[in-house]
Chains A and B, each alone.
Chain A
Amino acid sequence: MIDLKGVKTLSKQEHKTDRKKEAGKKEEEGGANPKTAEKGKKIKEDLDKLMEKIDDVLEENAEEFVKNYVQKGGE
């Protein structure tokens, strides 16, 4: 049987999306907690390494390549 713990059950009130409230929330976003920030930093360092890798593998003449990628519709 399933353990229901951890399932956030929404109350009816919460189901209603208050657009004004959401709009206000958007502006507040961005202030992450320290733990997330630390994790974020680690990811960032990893990503820096990855960016170098991307430059190595990314097709040359990206614009030309993307322009030439034309497929027939399928299904």
Chain B
Amino acid sequence: MIKRIMGTETEFGIATRNPEALDPVSTSLLLINHYPSLPSTRVLWDYEHENPLLDVRGFEVEGERERPGPEYNRLLNKVLANGGRLYVDGAHPEYSTPECTNSRDVVIYEKAGDRILGQCCEHAGRIKAQDPLVVYRNNTDGKGNSYGYHENYLVDRSVPFEMLMRALTPFFVTRQIYAGSGKVGAENRMPPLPFQISQRADFFETLVDLNTMVKRPIINTRDEPHADASKYRRLHVIVGDANMAECSTYLKVGSTAIVLTMIEEKWPLPEVELEDPVRAIKEVSRDVGLKSAIRLSNGRGYTAVEIQRLYLEAAYRFFEEHEADPVTRDVLKKWNEVLNRLQEDPMQLSREIDWVIKLELIRSYMEKKQCGWGDARLAMMDLQYHDLRPEKGLYAALEKGHYVDRITTDREITHAEQNPPTDTRAYFRGTCLKKFPKEVYATSWSSILFDVGNGTIKKVPLMEPLRGTESLTRSLLESADTVEDVLNRLSM
């Protein structure tokens, strides 16, 4: 079993009170360029090994690869002390967590990212005091425009993609029952309804493809491992919602990592083949009572909870025979508890699961105000649930009032803003940036380039995500006074 490397990318929605004043690209640039706590503002993003146009099915599609000049590169990219990346992707500010090894760390680093965006907002807002900027951690504007939340999992290259696809499809279609963020209404030409489980389900139109922006697929085939391609693939999961609730993120990433481990170890997985996954993902999203059956190819029908339980049962059997780390054990326990309660009555999870928290909040408000689903304030609540400003965000208010359960502590999140995980190559990236802010010339996920003077740039490849850890590089970095020392010791 390889240790799983994982991380997520979140694109944020942005708004100002005066919509005419909002050019999304320049506003995104304004935001990320106001983050006050960067180790260096000079670091470039090294695009050399990036190629999002490569498909796992063995071809490369046509398209322009991103190669900005140095000045624009610096405007677009901020490499963070925690080893993550803050950047502008298209018309949105985006944050990538550093590489993590477990779902708990993913939650912590996602929350650290929210704080980073919150600070961008606050500082950029000072120069536009009359027109405050708002950043939302959600996935749609409610008018047919979606922006992504992507999970990444390093997977053994020897696992055939076909096998991943077959095993993951029913899992991805159904995991929204604990990982959906909830949405008022429908879009993308789907029939209207008051509320649904997932922000993103309306947007999935095909089962497998390389696209992420149009005709979105449940299984994305981008083949860009950011690591040794002969050993690894990076499974790029675009089907999920960005969550506010810690428990939803924790289970979403934790259960997916467990399923991937079982696939890699060729463990028998539930033999459920959905008759029509694209239809099913929308049906599940629209079934807030969680009682409808999804049609399988063999004509039978299982509910989403039952399909999830089949995966959970396989996982329990697997971990009877294999060692599980503490986070995996805890994820299994919570996954089981959550499925039991979803089966009984999903509304019991109004402290843990995003879509239930949101739905409960809206229903309570409707009752209090005696208003119906057509009331504009409900769509506002849906949006404002995701507002990252502590004084305005509804999720933030729920958290502050202890209405929701936490997985992490504030202290861990504060620490994660400025410190990388210790058990992946993010440690080396983040620590070098903090120790040698002037000498780090550029970074990417799989490299770090040092300016050693006299116009000479030296590149340290980081093709192995499990190297560059604290235990492997701390003493080397601590005892090195200069970048030359680091390079000399690395080449020894």
Q: Which residues of A contact B (CB under 8 A)?
A: 1-2, 4, 6-10, 15-17, 19, 22, 25-26, 29, 43-44, 46-51, 53-54, 57-59, 62-63, 65-66, 68-75
Question: From A72, which residue of chain B is reached at the shortest CB distance?
Answer: B91
User: A71 contacts which chain B residues (CB < 8 A)?
Assistant: 13-14, 24, 91-92, 140-141, 145, 147
Q: How far is the CB of A43 from chain B (nearest CB, A)?
A: 7
29 A-B residue pairs with CB within 8 Å: A2-B329, A4-B320, A6-B336, A7-B316, A10-B306, A15-B302, A15-B306, A17-B293, A17-B301, A17-B303, A19-B293, A22-B291, A25-B291, A43-B350, A46-B401, A47-B361, A47-B364, A48-B368, A51-B368, A57-B392, A59-B384, A63-B376, A66-B379, A71-B92, A71-B145, A73-B146, A74-B213, A75-B90, A75-B212
B29 at interface (Cβ–Cβ under 8 A)?
no
> With an 8 A cutoff between CB atoms, is B131 at the interface?
no
Q: Which residue from B148, B291, B293, B345 sits with its C-beta under 8 Å from A74?
A: B148
Q: In the bound complex, how far is the Cα of B321 from the Cα of A2, in angstroms?
A: 9
Q: Which of B303-349 contact A (CB under 8 A)?
A: 303, 306, 309, 312-313, 316, 319-320, 324, 329, 332, 336, 340, 343, 345
B394 touches A57 (CB 8 A): yes
* Known contacts A16-B300, A51-B364; A69/B381 CB under 8 A: no
A48 contact set on B, CB distance < 8 A: 368
Q: How far is the CA of A6 from the CA of B369 in the complex (A)?
A: 41
Give me 9 other A-B pairs in contact (C-beta within 8 A), A47-B360, A47-B361 excluded.
Answer: A7-B316, A50-B398, A54-B381, A54-B397, A68-B19, A70-B143, A71-B24, A72-B145, A73-B214
In the complex, what residue of chain A is closest to B319 when comparing beta carbons?
Answer: A2
User: Which has the most chain B C-beta neighbours within 10 Å: A19, A57, A69?
Assistant: A69
| A62 and B313 contacting across the interface, CB-CB below 8 Å | no
Q: Tell me the minimal C-beta distance from B488 to chain A in angstroms.
A: 42
The 8 Å CB contact of B24, one of A25, A26, A72, is: A72
Residues A69 and B15 in contact, CB atoms below 8 Å apart: yes
Q: Classify the secondary structure of B's interface with A.
A: mixed
Tell me, yes or no, whether B122 is within 8 Å of chain A by CB: no
- Asked if residues A58 and B381 are in contact (CB atoms below 8 Å), the reply is yes
Cβ < 8 Å to A, chain B residues 176-212: 212
Which residue among A44, A46, A57, A63 has the maximum number of chain B CB atoms within 10 Å of its CB? A57
- Residue in chain A with minimal CB distance to B332: A2
Whether A73 and B380, one on each chain, are in contact in the complex, defined by CB atoms closer than 8 angstroms, is no
Q: Which of B89-111 contact A (CB under 8 A)?
A: 89-92
Q: What are the residues of chain B within 8 A of A69 when measuring CB–CB?
A: 13, 15, 19, 141-143, 383
Q: Are B384 and A75 in contact (CB under 8 A)?
A: no
Q: Evaluate whether A70 and B398 lie within 8 angstroms (CB atoms) in the complex, with A2-B316, A54-B381 already known.
A: no
- Asked if A74 and B376 sit within 8 Å, CB to CB, the answer is no
- Residue pair A7, B19 in contact (C-beta under 8 Å): no
Q: A8-B340, A17-B306 are in contact. Are A70 and B19 (CB under 8 A)?
A: yes
A6 partner residues in chain B, CB cutoff 8 A: 336
Count: A-B pairs, CB below 8 Å: 147
Contact partners of B78 in chain A: CB under 8 A: none
Q: Give CA–CA (A74, B95) in the complex, Å.
A: 13
The smallest C-beta distance from B136 to any residue of chain A, in angstroms, reads: 8
Residues from chain B with Cβ under 8 Å of A29 in the complex: 345
Q: Does B150 contact A (CB under 8 A)?
A: yes
| Contact status of A73 and B365, CB under 8 A, knowing A2-B320, A58-B381, A58-B384 | no
Q: Is B289 an interface residue (CB 8 A)?
A: yes
Q: Are B394 and A73 in contact, CB atoms less than 8 angstroms apart?
A: no
Query: In the assembled complex, which residues on chain B have CB atoms less than 8 Å from the CB atom of A65?
Result: 15, 17, 380, 383
Is B114 interfacial (CB-CB < 8 Å)? no
| Contact surface of B with A, Cβ cutoff 8 Å | 11, 13-15, 17, 19, 24, 89-92, 140-143, 145-148, 150, 212-214, 216, 238, 289, 291, 293, 300-303, 306, 309, 312-313, 316, 319-320, 324, 329, 332, 336, 340, 343, 345, 350, 360-361, 364-365, 368-369, 376-377, 379-381, 383-384, 391-392, 394, 397-398, 401, 403
The chain A residue sitting closest to B289, CB to CB, is A26
Nearest first, the 9 A-B pairs at minimum CB distance are: A74-B147, A63-B376, A62-B380, A72-B91, A75-B148, A75-B212, A17-B293, A71-B141, A68-B19
| B384 and A70 within 8 A (CB) | no
B364 engages A7 (CB within 8 Å):
no
**Which A residues are CB-close (under 8 A) to B91?**
71-72, 74
Tell me the nearest residue of chain A to B313, going by C-beta: A9
- C-alpha spacing A57/B15, complex, angstroms: 16
Q: Return the chain A residue nearest B294 by Cβ.
A: A17
Complex Cα–Cα for A44 and B309 (A): 31
Contacting residue for B403 out of A1, A8, A46, CB 8 A: A46
Cα(A53)–Cα(B361), bound, Å:
12
Q: Complex: how many Å from CA A69 to CA B141?
A: 6
Are A62 and B336 closer than 8 Å at their CB atoms? Answer: no
**Chain A residues closer than 8 Å to B350, beta-carbon distance:** 43
Which of A49, A57, A75 gathers most chain B CB within 10 Å?
Answer: A75
Most buried by B among A2, A44, A62: A2
A75 touches B301 (CB 8 A): no
**What chain B residues lie within 8 Å of A57 (beta carbons)?**
384, 391-392, 394, 397
Give Cα A58–Cα B368 distance, bound, in whole angstroms. Answer: 15
